[in-house]
Amino acid sequence: MTALRQRKGSKGKEPPLGAEFHSQQPNCCTDHHHHLHPEKILHGDWSWGAIIWTSVGWSVSVGLGLLCCIYVATLHENDLWFSNIKEVEREISFRTECGLYYSYYKQMLQAPSVQEGLSDLIHDNLTESRRTINLLQRMNIYQEVFLSVLYRLLPIQSYLEPVYFYIYTVFSLQAVYVIALYLTAWLLSGSWLAGALTGVWYILNRVDTTRVEFTISLRENWSLPFLALQVTAITCYLRPHLTALQQKVLVWLMYVTTFCFCLTWQFNQFILLVQALIIYTLDCVDLLTTTQVTTLYLVQVSSLLSVWLLQFCNSMILGSLVLSFIVAALFIRHCQSGLKTGGLLVRLGKLLLHTTMVLLLSFTINYLAKKALQLRSDEHIFKFIKLKFALGPTRDFDASLYLCEEAFGFLPLDTLERLAGTLLLYPYILTLLLLSGMFAVAALHNLSRSKGSSAEEKKGSGEGEMEAFRPDVAYNLLHTLFYGLLAFSTMRMKYIWTGHMCAVAAYGACGTELWSLLLTVLRCNSKLLLRLVRYAVPLAMVGWLYYQFWPKLMEELLELREFYDPDTVELMTWISTKTPKRAVFAGSMQLLAGIKLCTGRVLTNHPHYEDKDLRERTRQIMDGPGENDPDLVPASHPRFCEAINSDAPSYSALFTRTFQNKTFHVYRVKKKRKKSHKSSPEPSATQ
């Protein structure tokens, strides 16, 4: 176990900061340069007031992004005293799969050339013993490859160590993340005050918005900033009155950000599936035009296929459910030409039939694709869903392994308490309720329209309803609803939701809908009072948050700790100096990832679980005949990890203890004496 020792003179740590707030959206922009969207300049508003106000907004976004970056970097340094510990201790701090991913960055830098480094990754025989695998196909590690090449090319080797180049890049992506959320709130509300409130909330709710300071290499820390940028691009794309050039630029931005998101996270297909369902829902209720729907679908497809090519035709992507769903949705939509005609009841009936056909065709295409590709790499995900929601009796080993981790459980309710503590939760709920009601009214109105009144025609004729509930707001509403449900079902996915939650809450506080409704109820609605309230309340909230949390934040930054894990350091040092370089190690997946990084030795398994053969190898340790066994009985023999330490004759005949300390024991498998076979020693590290 790792201990973080408190340095002398440091104060006790405050409890984690909470989070809170919500947002709304505006439907009319009457405040001129005091109510600017970031693209106003693009529409020809070159007045000095517009330029100055917009420049201030962009400057604040960059400032908040840099503040977040410096904040998490400082926390990382203070928790580990990273600048003062040995290299092996730094590497040990990359826990579990983080160490595995970082090891490939280190491996690329240690290679004699980029070409040889790439060749070693494509023909890797160290990550899984007795197997040669293509790591660029199997894992999402192009970011490590890119950074290693960039580090070689830039003239920074003399004053910046490789590990700092890596972690600073990841921390810098947090700045990108905050800026993207800031811009989304600005676009929705028309005021950069909403963006400022978003950034403040994101930082104050760090415990629930990111875990980058202690899981630097996790794929989500690379990918979520690009997902936030994609949402910003989609929000801008769905705004009215864009020129043809602006639309083309935004389509390319959506493609690039979606591509980067998909390239950096193996769970991309499941996240995009939720987004495809959002697009499908908006299409069904006529809040998007046919062109917008088709474009958004094709951006997803082209991004996934681009990643498929870069990952050496990874079959897991072709067999993904999101591709099957998009193909089915586009095909059924093309075949059902009369889908959007008739009265309300007729439309609802057609919609139910249409959805049923799309789902049936999606599952059929997906089933046939997996059969044709002989794909079983992602089946553990569906088993996990089956077990988690009790959709059938199963004691599947892989699914149970996931559910043993707290991160894959349901969202703890104390998360909501923390979010409420920073004034985030209450306005978020109010905004959500208001926008959901508006969405329902707009959907029913659209479904009740007469024949031929399509979204395109309504857009062209300038009907008020389409403008009253804008498509960009509708998308962000469903985005926060769908990913919120995902977060409640699986705690690890909350980081997709909580960041965007800050933008939605800030939109509610700075937009026009909530305040217009409240002032109308109070019978005092006026343009001047609306503007006053929309700016005074957010400023008052920022002031209260500063007063309440700035001292705590400063005290948190004064908390100084030190990395302390002597047993693991001793183990890694022993392996590096006392074992052959081709020695093969078996043990827990988490520990083996660290062994790969610190020593470069060969592994039997590892934490990257998206491979059927690797899961089969890991499952050989399970107790019982397998899936759906209703009659489990206690094993007649003790647990291996406990029994081997007893030095019983039955074990000592097969294993020789070669290393031990308070935490770890390492045993060497005794070779069978055969005349013509030579094999490398295979110690087994156990905790």
Amino acid 625: pLDDT:
46
Single pTM value for the model: 0.89
Average pLDDT for 123-132? 94
Total number of residues shown for the chain: 687
Average pLDDT for 362-380? 86
Q: In which band, very low, low, confident or very high, does the pLDDT at 31 lie, cut at 50, 70 and 90?
A: very low
Secondary structure (3-state) at 51:
helix
Ramachandran bin of 9, using left for φ above 0, alpha for ψ from -120 to 50, beta for the remaining angles: left
Q: In which band, very low, low, confident or very high, does the pLDDT at 682 lie, cut at 50, 70 and 90?
A: low
Are the CB atoms for 609 and 128 separated by under 8 Å?
A: no
Amino acid 120: pLDDT:
97
- Same domain flag for 500 and 642: no
Triad 319, 322, 328: Cα angle to 5°? 95
Q: Could you give the percent of the chain with pLDDT greater than 70?
A: 83
Q: In which band, very low, low, confident or very high, does the pLDDT at 28 lie, cut at 50, 70 and 90?
A: very low
pLDDT in tens, 443-467: 999 998 755 445 555 554 444 444 4
Considering only residues 530 and 501, tell me which one the structure prediction assigns the higher pLDDT.
501
> What sign does the dihedral 325-330-332-333 (CA atoms) show?
positive
Amino acid 25: pLDDT:
36
Count: domains in the chain: 2
The answer to whether position 39 is within a domain reads no
- Same domain flag for 650 and 520: no
Triad 490, 277, 21: Cα angle to 5°? 55
Q: What is the DSSP letter of 20?
A: B
Q: In which band, very low, low, confident or very high, does the pLDDT at 565 lie, cut at 50, 70 and 90?
A: very high
Q: In which band, very low, low, confident or very high, does the pLDDT at 673 lie, cut at 50, 70 and 90?
A: low
pLDDT in tens, 595-650: 999 999 999 988 887 666 777 777 666 444 444 455 556 667 777 777 888 778 88
The answer to whether position 236 is within a domain reads yes
Amino acid 641: pLDDT:
77
Measure CA of the first residue to CA of the last residue in the chain; give whole Å. Answer: 10
Q: In which band, very low, low, confident or very high, does the pLDDT at 195 lie, cut at 50, 70 and 90?
A: very high
User: What are the backbone dihedrals phi and psi of residue 181, each rounded to the nearest 5 degrees, phi first?
Assistant: -65, -40
Average pLDDT for 400-410? 74
- Same domain flag for 375 and 411: yes
Q: In which band, very low, low, confident or very high, does the pLDDT at 12 lie, cut at 50, 70 and 90?
A: very low
pLDDT in tens, 45-85: 678 888 898 999 999 999 999 999 999 999 999 999 999 99
pLDDT of 677 higher than 50: no
Strands 602-603, 683-686: pairing is unpaired
- Same domain flag for 595 and 524: no
The answer to whether position 295 is within a domain reads yes
Tell me the β-bridge partners of 657.
667
Burial 465-501 (b: 16+ CB within 10 A, else e): ebeebbbbbbbbbbbbbbbbebbbbbbbbbbbbbbbb
Amino acid 270: pLDDT:
92
Considering only residues 669 and 643, tell me which one the structure prediction assigns the higher pLDDT.
669
Determine how many CB atoms are found less than 10 A away from the CB of residue 325.
Answer: 24
- Same domain flag for 583 and 445: no
- Same domain flag for 552 and 642: no
Strands 665-669, 655-660: pairing is antiparallel
- Same domain flag for 443 and 365: yes
Amino acid 633: pLDDT:
67
The answer to whether position 150 is within a domain reads no
The answer to whether position 587 is within a domain reads yes
Average pLDDT for 153-180? 97
- Same domain flag for 444 and 574: no
The answer to whether position 359 is within a domain reads yes
Least confident of 277-281, 540-544, 645-649: 645-649
The last residue of one of the domains, among 558, 578, 600, is 558
Q: How far apart are CA 121 and CA 141, in angstroms?
A: 10
The last residue of one of the domains, among 540, 558, 576, is 558
Q: Give the strand order in the sheet containing 683-686.
A: 655-660, 665-669, 683-686
pLDDT of 109 higher than 60: yes
Give 3-state DSSP helix, strand, coil % of the chain, rounded to 5: 65, 5, 30
Amino acid 37: pLDDT:
58
Q: How far apart are CA 109 and CA 86, in angstroms?
A: 19
Average pLDDT for 354-375? 94
- Same domain flag for 526 and 575: no
Considering only residues 401 and 678, tell me which one the structure prediction assigns the higher pLDDT.
401
- Same domain flag for 478 and 608: no
Strands 665-669, 683-686: pairing is antiparallel
Considering only residues 679 and 106, tell me which one the structure prediction assigns the higher pLDDT.
106
Q: In which band, very low, low, confident or very high, does the pLDDT at 33 lie, cut at 50, 70 and 90?
A: very low
- Same domain flag for 421 and 274: yes
Q: How far apart are CA 612 and CA 382, in angstroms?
A: 13
Triad 292, 294, 296: Cα angle to 5°? 65
Q: How far apart are CA 285 and CA 265, in angstroms?
A: 31
The answer to whether position 57 is within a domain reads no
Question: Mean pLDDT for the chain?
Answer: 86
| One-letter amino acid for residue 457 of the chain | E
The last residue of one of the domains, among 539, 558, 577, is 558
- Same domain flag for 194 and 296: yes
pLDDT in tens, 286-337: 999 999 999 999 999 999 999 999 999 999 999 999 999 999 999 999 888 7
Domain of residue 582, residue span: 566-625+638-669
The answer to whether position 550 is within a domain reads yes
